[in-house]
Structure 1
Amino acid sequence: MISHTIKLGGTASSITVGPVAHGLMMMTGSPVPISDEQAFESIKAGVDALPPGTKAFLNSGEFYARDFGTGNLQLLSRFFAKYPEYADKTFLSVKGGMSRQPFGPDGSMECLRASVENIQNALGPNKKLDLFEPARIDRNTPLETIMNNLVTLLKEGKFSHIGLSECNANTLRKANAIYPITAAEIEVSPWAYGDNQKAVISTARELNITVLAYGPLGKGYLTGQIKSPSDIPEGDFRSHFTRFKEEYFKANWALVESLVAVAEKKGVTPAQLSIAWVASLGPHMLPLPGSSKASRTLENLQAGDIELTPEEVKAVDDIIVANPVVGDRYFGQSDEEAHLWA
């Protein structure tokens, strides 16, 4: 049983969740599909390991499937149909609000309404959308308009809490002044910890907003189990990412080797070390690794009970400083092209 818990921020401050969230994307994004049975056991394992009254934080997306459709939500629909008693034991966050042609953020009421209705239709009757996040900030729509649209939909009962994703600290502050933000989802890990991350983390702590820290394992790179680009399965989306290209992969490997050494000394896995380090950045931090196996879900969740000493935190901090990461976070695009830090 996991002992640590955290309180969510914003309008969800009365809700207690486990110390590590569960990202579901690869359950329907992997080139090799997994069975419902395997996916369901992975979700159940995370829920069942938590203290009574504590919810498991699940994170999905309207487009989390190989065809960018609602396959992930349909999987959840089947899960909650089979295990309806788990609906109240989970807190579900879903990203949406992306136009299809061209694919990109759209903060208009038309797009946001269609998105949340599509999400709920795919989820079915057994689970309500708890928190909705525009997956990216629409730079072409005033923030006030986006927030007012979200508040309107919230008051209509489409969802219960508002989150933002890939926002910068100033946007987070301005949005929260319009309506309390429950969570800000940004990438945070030992290879994604720059000025933008630090500013959002600091601002969110000040404003009582949970930081939903996705990618704490560097998309699997920081586990040390992917030793070269050839270890990435054929058809895996990571093969397209800049940092997984041969020259960047090799340049960043010293970071992994150093983290592995600290993890071995601590007696934990490199994945658990990375998750525990993200959690150490503040009581409002909620690491969000992905998992499609029950064993991995439990390994990740157990990291929420790992306490790093100040010396161990400093050791990881020193490794980050000594090993500057080479390559951008996605596909060789600028932040604006990738709709990051808006």
Structure 2
Amino acid sequence: MSSIKTVALGSQGLQVPVEGLGCMGMTTLAGMTVYSPADETESIATIHRARELGVNFLDTADLYGPLLNERLVGKAVAGQRDQYTIATKFGYEIDEAGQLSPSFTINGRPDYIRRAIDRSLQNLNTDYIDLYYMHRPDPNVPIEDSVGAMSELVQAGKVRFLGLSEVPVETIRRAHAVHPLTAIQTEYSLFDRGVEADGVLQLTRELGIGFVGYSPLGRGFLTGGIKSLDELDAGDFRRHMPRYQPENFAHNLLLVEKLEQLARAKGVTPAQLALAWVLAQGVVAIPGTKRVKYLEANVAAAGLALSTEDLAALDASLPVGSAAGAAY
């Protein structure tokens, strides 16, 4: 077992490794390939290897697949459930046949939340979920109503801790007043530092809420492994994302080249340097992968110490707002 550091996520009692495993890429996403085609056997082997390395914090969602990702995670942890900390999310409306709403409707109504949790428990083949997030806030339902329903799940023993994903400061304050939040999950990387500008990161520290950064490698861009859009599979969902559009791609590639230069100087990969930067901000990162070799490389980044000079060089080379194109 690795000696990867564990930390308190928030102030409600949840302990997790400083680095978790994002499982989204292990299945399709609304019919689209996530980064590259997945292999179930290799994905499950990656989850098992993650536990051996101390990375037993798994992140999934009912949206991924839809539902297929939770089922894969449930299959992977069977017989070892108590050795994993599982986070999943609800919010995107999925019907009883497992079909995602064509308009990507967010449903935060209490009756839907009660249905969603029972479906996730069944998919994950477990009787409790460690950390249950609302994937996005429902603009038509007061956050107090949604979090109130989530709080009932804690009282019922179906959920241990609560979180929200991609929410503004005021929503966090209102939600936290209803039931103490354990985590806020938002995109965070050298390419996306919006939570520093909009006050979310500062607020989580102020309120004792944990912060979980997803896509810490800029959806693969910061690995330095993508030099041309032609390298992406035809069905890769990144082809629809602003940062990967031709008018932005060349600009962002220049930023990655600067990262590569700094990584070479430290004797590490660009991905490891980018991930170490996120961890140096005092947050938990959940890099996603479905391959053991990338998992092991990511875990090595957790042991990479960055000096004040390293951090200043990264700030100078990839300053806030330097990436071209929005995240979505």
User: Fold conserved (TM > 0.5)?
Assistant: yes
Structure 1 partner of 2:260: 260
Structure 2 partner of 1:287: 285
Structure 2 partner of 1:39: 43
Aligned-pair CA distance for 1:267: 1.3
Q: Distance in 2 between matches of 1:147 and 1:34?
A: 34
Q: Give the secondary structure class of the aligned counterpart of 1:277.
A: helix
Aligned-pair CA distance for 1:307: 1.0
Q: Distance in 2 between matches of 1:2 and 1:118?
A: 35
Structure 1 partner of 2:172: 172
Q: Distance in 1 between matches of 2:320 and 2:76?
A: 44
Aligned-pair CA distance for 1:291: 0.7
Q: TM-score, normalised by structure 2?
A: 0.91
- Shift in CA distance, 224/9, structure 1 to aligned 2, threshold 3 Å: same
> Contact between 1:135 and 1:164, CA under 8 Å: does it hold in 2?
yes
Q: Distance in 2 between matches of 1:294 and 1:48?
A: 11
Question: What does 1:147-296 correspond to in 2, within 5 Å?
Answer: 147-194=147-194, 199-282=199-282, 285-296=283-294
Q: TM-score, normalised by structure 1?
A: 0.87
- Shift in CA distance, 110/168, structure 1 to aligned 2, threshold 3 Å: same
> Contact between 2:279 and 2:285, CA under 8 Å: does it hold in 1?
yes
Aligned-pair CA distance for 1:197: 5.6
> Contact between 1:73 and 1:122, CA under 8 Å: does it hold in 2?
yes
Aligned-pair CA distance for 1:158: 2.1
Unaligned runs of 5+ in 2: 95-100
Aligned-pair CA distance for 1:99: 1.8
Aligned-pair CA distance for 1:5: 2.1
1:88 maps to 2:89: no
- Shift in CA distance, 131/2, structure 1 to aligned 2, threshold 3 Å: same
- Shift in CA distance, 322/205, structure 1 to aligned 2, threshold 3 Å: closer
Task: State the Cα deviation string for residues 246-286 of structure 1 (Å, max 9, x = none).
Answer: 1110121221011111111111111111111111112xx00
Task: State the Cα deviation string for residues 53-110 of structure 1 (Å, max 9, x = none).
Answer: xx61100010211xxx2111111222123xx13x122111101122244422211111
- Equivalenced residues, count: 315
Aligned-pair CA distance for 1:168: 1.4
- Percent of paired sites with the same residue: 31
Structure 1 partner of 2:300: 302
> Contact between 1:98 and 1:111, CA under 8 Å: does it hold in 2?
no
Q: Distance in 2 between matches of 1:259 and 1:208?
A: 32
Give the letter for the 2:139 counterpart: R
- Shift in CA distance, 195/185, structure 1 to aligned 2, threshold 3 Å: closer
> Contact between 2:196 and 2:202, CA under 8 Å: does it hold in 1?
no
Give the letter for the 1:22 counterpart: L
> Higher mean Cα deviation, 128-137 or 188-197?
188-197
Aligned-pair CA distance for 1:34: 3.2
Task: State the Cα deviation string for residues 141-167 of structure 1 (Å, max 9, x = none).
Answer: 112112111111221222111010001
RMSD of aligned Cα (Å)? 1.8
Structure 2 partner of 1:318: 316
Structure 2 partner of 1:99: 93
Structure 2 partner of 1:114: 115
